[in-house]
Chain A
């Protein structure tokens, strides 16, 4: 049993990293008011470009960097379409996923059989010997550690720095932010591009550390789960950490639930009645639907239980900002203070 739990935890931690990286990027982008449904495409582009770079140069860090850069490049298209051309964010995102999937399948065919030496596992001395948890948490690749380290970084950035608060302000009330002197267009561009970099990193982690190979469509819907995760986490980075492990656990359980005896013994009361239900509920394929259903449930719960304006969804999400002809620029002195004013005015 201990072996099973340790293995399960290990798989959970591995599965969570991809979601964490992509989810954190999506939080930044959505906090600035831009939904990015192109995560899946950006991840695939990051995965393939990182993989090719690693095959050619032999350096997985360089591959990781290239993956991030190309994720950013794809996000730049999204930013241009949604922010400058004020296009529909959904359409632009779906388009980028199509583009990323299509182009990586098209160009990636010849790289399928290549093999690389990807990120090695690094064990943290002493801690790795902890029972059960040790192997899962402290024998991981550098990118796994990086993802966890980025959670507090993104949290600090969003809620404790000027730039972060300005990001949030353009996602909540762009007109007000503009009036206060925040460059709405610049902030949104930055947030979308940084978010794309995270998606590219998630993809590169997938091909360079997680599976250490390239297969077309290898993200297998993880980009969409990351989008769902952000809603699940109510747009808060620290909850991304929790949500990523939860969704990762479901992912890990899915692959291992066959080895678990989850049904009642034949003699137990109600066994004949409950066992088919239990079998259905714990069926791996049915369990694969839980992250999606949980996200819908969280969304519905949050909206139904509280008034919808209290939901953490950035108020200006999905809305392009059109600067009106006359925007009075007021001087409130300290810009840090003005951003706080914007936030308090909500």
Chain B
């Protein structure tokens, strides 16, 4: 018997594969993760029902999911936009931290009337995030230094800078806890409904901004052009330098918003252990939603659900919430596997009896 794999590039991708991929990958990830659940003697059905059904049917679960989705969507956009131009922003976490630090500093040290303080905090956070993203963007645009490595390395620099500032110059409040002073009422993002803070509006607005930017503007066209064919884009007179810097600056801005939104909307103060990891989940979100800003929004909410559901599962069943990390990893794993099947068609050819011609073989089978 002779088994052969035929792998050929696909001309076009069937529609069912385009829309089915995200759904299949998530289901496959959940199915494989259930092995880990069984290993700890937990029924996967019970675990997943706590994770999804209870989270989606309780008011607490829904508001928590919405609150978590705010930074996830924003950092998701921070990875999504450079990805449109073919660049990887692995450092959204660092941009988020820097943004949170700058916004916190403004919130604690500046006094401004009414909502002006919140606006200033968001602006400061956005600028800090954009600055932190601009460094690797410039190194890439000017000297062709790999942005993946620099954004990643700068994330660790940002985390240490945060530890230095919060345990040092920015430390405040009662006692010697490594944290800043509590925000005043004016520096706290007001609640929209229940526990959901108005940062949700910022996130939704930025999704709209990213959507319009990519689909409706000249810059968006240039970004997509550079992303799909950098050489041709250069030939067409598009400045790669400009595109690279802009996607990263705008992405860093989004990540900065995510940072201050989480601090001023949820935490109320900057604690030294604030390392939410949203910037890493954002890579998965951008990967799932890379076809459009609205898909980033959807993916952001899905991962928020996963994280909130994971912690309720930990409380209810004593299963470590780290399962959500495993699920995230598996979603990526199956997604990039599916990517292969999108690009190539694979068919299995089995010759039962090599050496005999097809005609005689059908004859003998009959």
- The residues in B between 315 and 361 inclusive whose CB is less than 8 angstroms from any CB of A are 320, 322-330, 332-333, 336-337, 339-340, 343
Note all chain B residues with C-beta closer than 8 A to A109: 320
Note all chain B residues with C-beta closer than 8 A to A308: 143-144
A-B contacts, 10 listed (Cβ < 8 Å): A85-B340, A91-B283, A94-B280, A98-B325, A99-B333, A102-B324, A224-B152, A289-B156, A299-B145, A304-B143
- A221–B340 contact, CB under 8 A? no
List the interface of chain A (C-beta within 8 A of B).
Answer: 37, 77, 81, 85-88, 90-92, 94-96, 98-99, 101-103, 105-107, 109, 216, 221, 224, 227-228, 231, 283, 285-286, 288-289, 292-293, 295-296, 299-300, 303-304, 308
- A106–B322 contact, CB under 8 A? yes
Note all chain A residues with C-beta closer than 8 A to B339: 85, 87
Contact of B336 among A37, A91, A99 (CB under 8 A): A91
- B340–A87 contact, CB under 8 A? yes
- A228–B153 contact, CB under 8 A? yes
List the interface of chain B (C-beta within 8 A of A).
Answer: 36, 39-40, 88, 90, 139, 143-146, 148-150, 152-154, 156-157, 160-161, 163-164, 167-168, 280, 283, 287, 320, 322-330, 332-333, 336-337, 339-340, 343
Known interface pairs A94-B280, A221-B156, A303-B145. Does A102 touch B336 (Cβ–Cβ under 8 Å)?
no
Known interface pairs A98-B328, A98-B332, A292-B157. Does A285 touch B320 (Cβ–Cβ under 8 Å)?
no
Note all chain A residues with C-beta closer than 8 A to B333: 77, 81, 95, 99
- A296–B336 contact, CB under 8 A? no
Q: In the complex, what's the smallest C-beta–C-beta distance from B354 to chain A, in angstroms?
A: 23
In chain A, what residue has the closest Cβ to B144?
Answer: A308
Known interface pairs A102-B326, A102-B329, A105-B320. Does A81 touch B149 (Cβ–Cβ under 8 Å)?
no
Q: In the complex, what's the smallest C-beta–C-beta distance from B306 to chain A, in angstroms?
A: 12
Contact of A286 among B152, B164, B330 (CB under 8 A): B164
- A87–B336 contact, CB under 8 A? yes
In chain B, what residue has the closest Cβ to A90?
Answer: B148
Note all chain A residues with C-beta closer than 8 A to B168: 283, 285
In chain B, what residue has the closest Cβ to A85?
Answer: B340
Determine the distance from Cα of A299 to Cα of B340 in the docked complex, in whole angstroms.
Answer: 32
Q: In the complex, what's the smallest C-beta–C-beta distance from B280 to chain A, in angstroms?
A: 7
- B336–A85 contact, CB under 8 A? yes
- A300–B139 contact, CB under 8 A? yes
Note all chain A residues with C-beta closer than 8 A to B150: 296, 299
Known interface pairs A98-B280, A288-B160. Does A106 touch B90 (Cβ–Cβ under 8 Å)?
no
Note all chain A residues with C-beta closer than 8 A to B343: 86
In chain A, what residue has the closest Cβ to B332?
Answer: A95
- B326–A103 contact, CB under 8 A? yes
Note all chain A residues with C-beta closer than 8 A to B163: 285, 288
- B336–A285 contact, CB under 8 A? no
Q: In the complex, what's the smallest C-beta–C-beta distance from B133 to chain A, in angstroms?
A: 14
- A107–B36 contact, CB under 8 A? yes
Known: A295-B153, A299-B146. 18 other contacts (CB 8 A): A77-B333, A85-B339, A86-B340, A87-B339, A91-B336, A94-B332, A96-B329, A102-B325, A102-B327, A103-B36, A106-B323, A106-B325, A106-B326, A109-B320, A224-B156, A231-B149, A299-B149, A303-B143
